[in-house]
Amino acid sequence: MSAYYREKVAIKDDCETIVDFLEQRKTKSTKTSFKAGKNKNKSRLFNAAEKFLEMNLYDMRRSSTTFNLGPVELQWSKTVSLWKTWTTRRNLGMNPKVAITGFLTTIGTHILSTISGQNYGHEGYVAFVEVIRRLF
């Protein structure tokens, strides 16, 4: 995490300078359409650059769509994210073919790592035998 922070601090000034330049830049095109609202005098390129900078450098999300379900206020992005996570886990975990394949792949990888001594020592082998003994 600190390596990412150091990299972000190192490029922050350059990124802010680029965004400031884009904000002050005049466009020559007559077809440029500006949205009404708070950014009505700013180009689409500036809006995209500013949004990209906020999301990637400062970890800020610009829009948070919420809706009310009775007395509870729900955020749309969190609700969709939770639904996606739940369906993925359900589909992967409750599908017998996927569960058996994942189990056998894990066991095979564990056996190879134990035999080669790459990630485990003798204790890993003893733990593996104990897990297999308890399963069957």
- Each domain of the chain, given as residue ranges in start order, spans 2-62, 76-135
Cβ–Cβ < 8 Å for 66, 75:
yes
Q: Which residues of the chain have pLDDT under 50?
A: 1, 34-39
pLDDT attached to residue 39: 47
Distance of CA 97 to the CA centre of its chain: 28
pLDDT at 105: 93
The mean pLDDT value of the chain amounts to: 78
68: which strand partners? 73
Smallest Cα–Cα separation from 75: which of 63, 84, 58? 63
SS (H, E, C) the chain: CHHHHHHHHHHHHHHHHHHHHHHHCCCCCCCCCCCCCCCCCCCHHHHHHHHHHHHHCCCCCCCCCEEEECCEEEEHHHHHHHHHHHHHHHHHHCCHHHHHHHHHHHHHHHHHHHHHCCCCCHHHHHHHHHHHHHHC
Which amino acid would we find at residue 62?
R
